[in-house]
Chains A and B, each alone.
Chain A
Amino acid sequence: MAKAFAYYPGCSLHATAREYDVSTRAVFSALGMDVKEIEGWVCCGASSAHSTDHLLALVLPAHELQAASEMERPVLVPCAMCYSRLKLTLLELERPGKKEEVGKALGKPLGKMPAVLHPMEALREEEIPVKRPLGGLKVACYYGCLLARPQGVVPGEDLENPQGMDRIMARLGAQPVPWPFKNECCGASMFLAKKDLLLRLSRRIVFQAQEAGAEALVVGCPMCHFNLDLAQRGTEHPLPVLYLTQAVGLALGLPPSDLMLKRHFISPLPVLKGKGIWPG
């Protein structure tokens, strides 16, 4: 039977990161997997809920987990922030008494919780029929904080040197470069409150990727993408930032409308055209 997922896009994928939403759906459908959006989903609370209120930070994700469990499907979560909130909620619910406490707050006992997967995890295991190899494009795979930490959240990945995206990119014909800033923080949701800090952290990451010889960055988080992309506006030799699913879609030979590569601040087109892998 084909794999089927309950899909939790999260707020970013309906706004700043629409290209991540569109390319994720296109890639999963091209690979014959069924992705069905959770109806009436609400925000996971992001950093603001867990920053301020322990119970609220569990109630919001638990509500989505419960909806997915009613669909009897594992949850696919492309946003690394939502992914982390859902995964950490699963772990928290295993602590003594927590499941009852959250179920009581929700007014509905929590049943068996579904598995939660990021596209990186789903694609790691998948056969990808490459139609348009990525021509040795040198990529720096950036995992940020939430696809690397904490221990036990992303199964099978090393905390200090994760490899999941690197392996997928190598299978697509790209050349992942080894580099030291795979899991350094980009500044997260500090755009409004601490922009200078965010720009400094993000530019450090871009600089290290360039030092390692990368021609593009590959990410699996809309917040990382926004920060790394925005931080390079107006700089002289910017590195385009691709979503993992955009890179997979390119290799699958999907049309430009499924990839939406023109929405980034830093256009990836010159680099892709240079490698002869631009589909337009």
Chain B
Amino acid sequence: MKSLVIIPSPDFRRELETESGERVSSCIQCGKCSGSCPVFAIMDLGPRRLMRAVQLGLREEALGSNTLWLCLFCMTCSSRCPMKIDVARVIETLRHRAIKEGVRPADREIALFHRLFLAEIEALGRAYELGLGGAYGLLTLRPWTNLREFGAMLRRGKVPFIPERAAGSGPLFEKARKAGG
């Protein structure tokens, strides 16, 4: 039998604790977070094992996990953690880290959605559902997936054809990029 030896490396944990401001080391692995998570069923690690991975300094496992992307930020884990760790914040910090380091997102659909959404906001200032839905459909090569839903929305006047604009967003994105380095 192949044996697995994990040598904890504290650097990764320390970095994340500084970035998130949360004490991951105090996690007692009770599992309330994973038990409360609405998306746990389709996660590879789930919040509890993700926290363990950070404690042990398993960098690749943590940053490559689909848990970062599937997290809906409902914050149930954070609100129920008996050690008062803001688990959702730790997950978010990991996701920011994964993006910064260019780690391939474990869920490409969700990553694409966020990218398109932000590109649209930067260009228009306000969300434009038809444009977003269309672009997402084309780029995933499944333009017909949501046709029925968009048809129903259009019939009720729920989605305007012509996008609303607000000029202020482009400069804000520019400023955030400049300040963020």
The chain A residues found within 8 Å of chain B, CB to CB, are 11-12, 14-16, 18, 40-43, 45-56, 59-60, 63, 95, 101, 104-107, 145, 148-151, 159-160, 183-185, 187-195, 197, 201, 230, 233, 263-265
**Contacting pair A14 B164 (CB below 8 A):** yes
> Is the beta-carbon distance between A50 and B179 smaller than 8 angstroms?
no
Q: What is the CB-to-nearest-CB distance from B27 to chain A, in angstroms, rounded to a whole number?
A: 17
Contact A51 B146 (CB under 8 A): no
B96 at the interface (CB under 8 A from A): yes
Among the stretches B1-9, B10-18, B50-58, B126-134, the one at the interface with A is: B126-134
Contact B72 A190 (CB under 8 A): yes
Q: Within 8 Å CB of A188, what residues of B?
A: 72-74
Q: Are A42 and B121 in contact (CB under 8 A)?
A: yes
**In the complex, chain B residues 122-159 whose Cβ is within 8 Å of any chain A Cβ:** 125-129, 132-133, 136, 145-146, 149, 152-153, 156-159
Give the distance in Å from the alpha carbon of A271 to the alpha carbon of B110 in the complex.
37
Q: Please report the C-alpha to C-alpha distance between residue A4 and residue B76 in the assembled complex, in whole angstroms.
A: 34
* A contact face: mostly helix, strand, loop, or mixed: loop
The distance from the CB of A199 to the nearest CB of chain B, in whole angstroms, is: 11
Q: Are B146 and A192 in contact (CB under 8 A)?
A: yes
* Chain B nearest CB, measured from A32 CB (Å): 29
B179 partner residues in chain A, CB cutoff 8 A? 55, 59, 101, 104-105
Query: Measured between alpha carbons, how far is A46 from B157 in the docked complex, in Å?
Result: 23
Instruction: Tell me if B's interface is mostly helix, strand, loop or mixed.
Output: helix
**Closest Cβ–Cβ distance, residue A232 to chain B (whole Å):** 12
Please indicate the chain B residues that have their CB under 8 angstroms from the CB of A183 in the complex: 76
Contact A15 B160 (CB under 8 A): yes
CA distance A184 to B38 in the complex (A): 8
Residues of A close to B169: CB separation below 8 A: 42-43, 60
User: How far apart sit A184 and B79, CA to CA, in the bound complex (Å)?
Assistant: 13
B164 touches A40 (CB 8 A): no
Contact with A along B153-181 (1 / 0, CB 8 A): 10011111000101111001101111110
Asked whether A47 lies within 8 Å of B73 as measured between CB atoms, the reply is yes
Bound: A151/B113 CA distance, A: 29
CA A150 to CA B22, docked complex, whole Å = 15
In Å, the complex CA distance between A159 and B180 comes to: 34
Cβ-defined contact, B127 with A46, below 8 A: yes
Q: B92 and A50: CB pair below 8 A?
A: yes
A40 touches B159 (CB 8 A): no
The answer to whether A48 and B79 touch (CB under 8 A), given A11-B127, A15-B159, A145-B74, is no
Inter-chain CA distance A67–B47, complex, in Å, is 37
- Given pairs A51-B114, A105-B175, A150-B88, 10 additional interface contacts (CB within 8 A): A43-B166, A52-B114, A56-B180, A59-B172, A145-B74, A145-B75, A149-B79, A193-B112, A193-B136, A265-B156
Closest to A184 in B: B38
User: What 5 pairs across the A-B complex have the smallest Cβ distances?
Assistant: A105-B179, A11-B127, A185-B74, A145-B74, A48-B117
A264 to B155, CA, bound (A): 11
Q: Given the complex of chains A and B, what is the CA–CA distance between A106 and B177 in angstroms? A: 11
Tell whether B34 is near chain A: CB-to-CB under 8 Å. no
Q: How far is the CB of A204 from chain B (nearest CB, A)?
A: 9
In the complex, the chain A residue whose C-beta lies closest to that of B163 is: A15
Q: Are A41 and B175 in contact (CB under 8 A)?
A: no
